[in-house]
């Protein structure tokens, strides 16, 4: 499948039914378009099975509650909608996107309690998120923006509003010839990339930021479990930016990113070492079993 995302063949699940791709539209006065009242999930289907799909559906519902938006579907209904969408499009390997949002209704201001909560499930066939960085290592810029305090916004939600600075930062990074950008958090500690968590290796031990103001990714947790099963020490902690100079390896994790090595962040370089390759390869096996 190729071409603009609004002009493709296929089907999208919307509000309980499958509709032709080009007819899956919303009104311009949908509340989410104006006020970011939207949460979403990104998932991957491998060999006909969505990896940790139930966990993603559970997080979608939690995200909705965190932004005061009760999503009127159960985990079971969301799971069925995903597989119905995949079957309708004939896909066994695909990226799956579920989005729940406040639509158009009686309210058109900041308040939206009388507007319906809608949901759509779509997907597309998608290769490596960072292209050849899977083998050579991604190059990251360091964003001028910082991840916000959980006192200012519900940072545990996978909510659309939290991604505004991600888009801005990634555009800046790409203009510099980078694949992505890394954020610091509101305190100045290393946080994450625009759509992925980050890990570092030093002397055979792994260090990753404490997710107290960033999304505790499902892939992140999976990789931590894999490392611990191998007897590798994992430190979840605050990481100062000056520590980057002492780390030997680095990788990103996320549903889209999977496990992607990092070769450079700003002026700091990292080797695509044995541990990075081992975890990346082991993850590829895990998601397909």
Q: What is the DSSP string of the chain?
A: --S-TTS-SSEEEETTEEEEGGG----TT-HHHHH--EEEEEEEEETTEETTHHHHHHHHHHHHHHTT---SS-HHHHHHHHHHHHHHHT-SSEEEEEEEEE-SSS--SS--TTSPEEEEEEEE----TTTTHHHH-EEEEEEEEEEPPTTTS-TTS-BGGGGHHHHHHHHHHHHTT-SEEEEEETTS-EEEESSSEEEEEETTEEEEE--SSS---HHHHHHHHHHHHTT--EEEE---GGGGGG--EEEEEETTTEEEEEEEETTEE----HHHHHHHHHHHHHHT-
Residues 196-233: pLDDT tens digits?
999 999 999 999 999 999 999 999 999 999 999 999 99
Report if residue 113 sits inside a domain.
yes
pTM: 0.95
147 and 120 fall within a common domain: no
pLDDT band at 127 (very low <50, low <70, confident <90, very high): confident
Q: What is the mean pLDDT of residues 104-121?
A: 95
Q: What is the mean pLDDT of residues 112-122?
A: 96
139 and 278 fall within a common domain: yes
Range of the domain at 33: 11-124
* Residue 1, pLDDT score: 52
206 and 99 fall within a common domain: no
Q: What is the mean pLDDT of residues 221-246?
A: 98
* Residue 3, pLDDT score: 82
pLDDT band at 62 (very low <50, low <70, confident <90, very high): very high
Of 74, 100, 124, the residue at which a domain comes to its end is 124
Reply yes or no on whether the pLDDT at 2 is more than 80.
no
Find all residues with CB under 8 Å of 272, minimum gap 6, and list them.
135, 136, 137, 249, 261, 263
Q: What is the mean pLDDT of residues 87-96?
A: 97
Stated length of the chain: 289
Q: Residue 172: give its domain's CATH number.
A: 3.20.10.10
Count of structural domains, the chain: 2
How far is the C-alpha of 205 from the C-alpha of 235, rounded, in Å? Answer: 8
Report if residue 175 sits inside a domain.
yes
For residues 254 and 127, which has the higher predicted lDDT (pLDDT)?
254
107 and 180 fall within a common domain: no
Q: Phi then psi for 56, rounded to 5 degrees?
A: -65, -45
Of 92, 124, 156, the residue at which a domain comes to its end is 124
- Do residues 173 and 163 make contact, with C-beta atoms less than 8 angstroms apart? no
176 and 151 fall within a common domain: yes
Straight-line distance from the first to the last Cα atom of the chain, in angstroms, rounded to the nearest whole number: 26
Residues 152-177: pLDDT tens digits?
999 999 999 999 999 999 999 999 99
- Do residues 44 and 51 make contact, with C-beta atoms less than 8 angstroms apart? yes
Q: What is the mean pLDDT of residues 8-31?
A: 97
Residue in 52, 158, 176, 202 annotated catalytic: 158
Based on the residue annotation, tell me whether 158 is a catalytic residue of this protein: yes
Report if residue 67 sits inside a domain.
yes
Report if residue 184 sits inside a domain.
yes
Q: Is 236 left (phi over 0), alpha (psi -120 to 50) or beta?
A: beta
In the structure encoding, which two tokens stand for residue 48, read together? 């006909």
* Residue 129, pLDDT score: 77
Of 68, 96, 124, the residue at which a domain comes to its end is 124
73 and 201 fall within a common domain: no
């Amino acid at each position: 499948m190729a071409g603009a995302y609004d002009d493709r063949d296929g089907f999208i699940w919307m509000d309980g039914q499958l509709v032709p791709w080009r007819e899956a539209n919303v009104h311009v006065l949908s509340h989410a378009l104006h006020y970011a009242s939207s949460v979403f999930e990104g998932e991957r289907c491998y060999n006909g099975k969505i990896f940790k799909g139930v966990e993603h559906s559970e997080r979608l519902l939690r995200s909705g509650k965190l932004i005061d938006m009760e999503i009127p579907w159960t985990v079971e209904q969301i799971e069925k909608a995903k597989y119905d969408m995949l079957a309708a499009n004939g896909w066994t390997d695909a990226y799956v996107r579920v989005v729940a949002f406040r639509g158009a209704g009686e309210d058109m201001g900041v308040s939206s309690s009388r507007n319906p909560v809608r949901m759509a499930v779509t997907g597309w066939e998608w290769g490596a998120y960072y292209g050849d960085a899977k083998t050579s290592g991604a190059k990251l810029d360091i964003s001028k923006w910082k991840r916000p305090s959980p006192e200012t916004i519900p940072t545990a939600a996978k909510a659309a509003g939290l991604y505004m600075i991600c888009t801005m930062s990634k555009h800046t990074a790409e203009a510099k010839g980078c694949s992505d950008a890394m954020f610091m958090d509101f305190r100045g500690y290393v946080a994450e990339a625009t759509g992925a968590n980050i890990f570092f290796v030093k002397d055979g031990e792994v260090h990753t930021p404490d997710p107290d103001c960033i999304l505790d990714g499902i892939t992140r947790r999976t990789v931590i479990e894999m490392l611990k099963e191998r007897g590798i020490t994992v430190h979840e902690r605050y990481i100062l930016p000056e520590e980057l100079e002492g780390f030997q390896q680095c990788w990103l994790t996320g549903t889209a990113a999977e496990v992607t090595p990092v070769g450079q962040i700003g002026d700091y370089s990292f080797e695509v070492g044995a541990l990075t390759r081992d975890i990346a390869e082991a993850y590829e096996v895990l998601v397909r079993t």
